[in-house]
Structure 1
Amino acid sequence: MISVFGSANMDLVAYVSKAPKLGETVTGHRFRTIPGGKGANQAIAAARAGGEVAFLGAVGDDGFGAEMRSTLAEAGVDVHGLRQVPGPSGIAHIVVDDDGGNSIIVVPGANGTITGPSGEDLAAIAGASALLLQLELPMPAVVAAAQAGNVAGVPVFLTPAPAQPLPAELLEAVTTIVPNEHEAAAITGVQGVEGALEALLELVEEAVITLGSDGALYGSRSGERLRVPAVKVDAVDTTAAGDTFVGALAVARAERMPVTAALHFASTAAALSVQREGASTSMPTRREIENALG
C-alpha cells in the first residue's frame, strides 16, 4: 500500500492563447473544473499506474469536496482517510496557454485545517510500502507525517512544491526528494542541475530532479548517477506531469524495479500525461504505460 498524505483541490482551469501579464486582461477560449491538488494527483497517478493507494487528507463540505472524493474513489484510491471539514475545499486557479505552459494560484481551503496526521493516518503511514508528501499542507503536518514514516521504516518521497524553505527535521526524515530544476535551485542555492543534485545529496539519501523535456537526473549517496531522457511528445498541458512522474515512480520502486527501469517507467507515464488536458484526467493507466514502453 502506498500512502499519500497531501492536498486535494478543485482545479479551475482557464485555457488561453497567451497567459496575461500583470495588469493585462486576455480572453480565454475554454474553462474546465477538474479535481486535482498535488496529493490527490499523485494518489490517482499511482493508482492508475498499478499501485494500491490510500489517500490521507481533507476536503470541505461543499460540492467540490464531494466531487473530489468521488474522483479518487473511481480511480481506485482508498478514501477512508479523506476527512470532511466545515467550509470550502481547496482550489487551484490554473492558466494554460496554447504551448502547454501553465501558471497556478492555490487557495488551501480545507487543506489548511490539517495540523498533523490523525491516529488513523499514522496507522496507514506505518503500514505503507511508501509515503508520498508534498508542500500544499501546513508544514508542521508534513514534518510530522515524514517523521512518522521515517520512524516506521517507510520510504518517504517528498515533492518540494510549492518551493519554500525546508526545515532540517523534514529533510532528516526524507528518503527521496523529487524537485524540478527550479525547485532544486531554490532549495540548494546552486544553479546547474548537476551541482544542485550533489547539494541535494548532502541533505537526503536519494534525489531525482525532473527536467521536463530534458528528462530526469538521478543520484544517490551510494554514488549512483543516472540521466534518463524524456520521451519526445507534443505537449498539450503540463499541469500534472510532475505528479504523474512521482506517482508512477513510487509504484515502480515499491515493486522493486531497478532504478533505471523505474525512472523510464515514471518518465513514460509523465510523457503520456502531457498529451492530455487536465490534471487527474490526464494520467495514464498501467497498460498504457507498458504499451508505450514496448
Structure 2
Amino acid sequence: MAVWNLGSINIDNVYRVPHLPAPGETLGATEFSQGLGGKGANMSVAVARAGARIAHIGAIGRDGKWTAERLMEYGVDTRRIAELPDHATGHANIAVADDGENQIVLYSGSNTAISEQMIGVALAEASPGDTFLIQNETNGQRVGAEMAKQLGLKVVYAAAPFEAEAVRDILPFIDLLVLNQVEAGQLEEALGSPVHALGIADVVVTLGADGCLWLGPSGNEVHVPALAVTPVDTTGAGDTFTGFLVAGLDRGMPMRQALDLATQAGALMVTRLGTADVIPDLKEIEDARFG
C-alpha cells in the first residue's frame, strides 16, 4: 500500500520569543532557525518516519529545491513535486514562545499553483486501496479527492487551516476526517449538524492535552488519553499525529492501535523545537517507553 499526499511545502523561519507578541508590539527574538515545514511536508515526513510508503504531490519555486531534497532524505518519494520558476516557494514566519505556544504568518506561494494535470499524472500511478491525504494549504483538494475516490483510494482529510466551505466541498469523498476540537465546533455550527452525523465513516477530533476522540462508523465513541510530557514547541504536533495515524492505517493497523501510535508520536514531537526536521521515527518512539 502507499500514501499519496497532496500537500504544502514551506520554508519555515522560526523565531524564539519570550512570549507571543501582542498587537502593535515589537518583540526581540532570542533565537532564529530555518527549516522544512508546511502541513503537507510535515505529514509526508511523519508518514515516512512511521514506516509507510509516501509520495508527495506538490510544487516549489526555484528557491525551494533544498526542501524537495530534504524530503527525499527523509524517505519521501519526491518525483511528483513540480518546480515552478514563476512562483516563490511557500513560507511561514513562526514565533514560538517559551511556554510552547506559537503564532504563524503563512504565505502560500507555489502551494496554490498546483494544476489538475499534476494531480492526475501522480494519481495515475496509485493503486486501489492506497490512501489519498489532503489538507487546506494547497489548491486542488476537491479535484484530487474526486479522482482518488474514482480510483478506489481511501481519502483522508486533515481540515486545517480550517475552512468550513472547503470541508463542505469535499464532504462526499471523505473516508476519514481529522480536526481539532475548535474546528469541530466551527464545522458543526457551519453545517448545522454534529460531526458524527456528517456521513463520514471515521472522524478523529484531537483534544490537545486531553488526547483525542474517535467517532467510529457504528456510532461508537472512543477516547484516547494524552500522554504526560513537558511541551517545548507545539508546532507540527498535529501534523505528526495525522501522519502517524495515516501511516498506521495504511500499514494495516486497527484504528485504536494507529491512534495510540499517533498519540505517542505527537507527545514526543511537542518536546522538540522545530517542525519537519525533528519529527520522531518509530525507534525514537519505542525508546521513549511511553506507558
Q: TM-score range by the shorter chain?
A: over 0.9
Gaps (5+ residues) in structure 1?
Answer: none
* Distance in 1 between residues matched to 2:41 and 2:159, nearest whole Å: 15
- 1:46-125 to 2 correspondences below 5 Å: 46-62=47-63, 65-86=64-85, 87-116=87-116, 118=118, 119-125=120-126
Which of 232, 243, 246 pairs up with 1:236? Answer: 232
* SS of equivalent to 2:106: strand
Gaps (5+ residues) in structure 2?
Answer: none
* SS of equivalent to 2:226: coil
Runs of 4+ in structure 1 displaced over 6 angstroms? none
Matched length: 285
* Distance in 1 between residues matched to 2:146 and 2:84, nearest whole Å: 25
Matched residue type, 1:260: R
CA displacement 1:190-249 (0-9 Å, x = unmatched)? 8xxxx98x4344242210011111100001231221000111101111101010001100
**Alignment partner, residue 288 of structure 1:** 284
* Distance in 2 between residues matched to 1:117 and 1:217, nearest whole Å: 37
User: 1:201–1:219: 8 Å Cα contact kept in structure 2?
Assistant: no
* Distance in 1 between residues matched to 2:45 and 2:128, nearest whole Å: 19
Matched, 1:227 2:223: yes
User: 2:47–2:246: 8 Å Cα contact kept in structure 1?
Assistant: yes
TM-score w.r.t. the length of structure 2 is 0.93
* Distance in 2 between residues matched to 1:126 and 1:113, nearest whole Å: 26
CA displacement 1:158-201 (0-9 Å, x = unmatched)? 111111123534011011110011111121128xxxx98x4344
CA displacement 1:4-63 (0-9 Å, x = unmatched)? 11100001111101011111111110111111111111000010111111101000011x
**Alignment partner, residue 249 of structure 1:** 245
* SS of equivalent to 2:75: coil
Could you say if the C-alpha distance between residues 230 and 40 of structure 1 is closer, same or farther in structure 2, counting changes exceeding 3 Å?
A: same
Matched, 1:189 2:189: yes
TM-score w.r.t. the length of structure 1 is 0.92
**Alignment partner, residue 149 of structure 2:** 150
Task: Tell me the C-alpha RMSD between the 2 structures.
Answer: 1.8
User: 2:58–2:82: 8 Å Cα contact kept in structure 1?
Assistant: yes
* SS of equivalent to 1:24: coil
Matched residue type, 1:146: A
* SS of equivalent to 1:146: helix
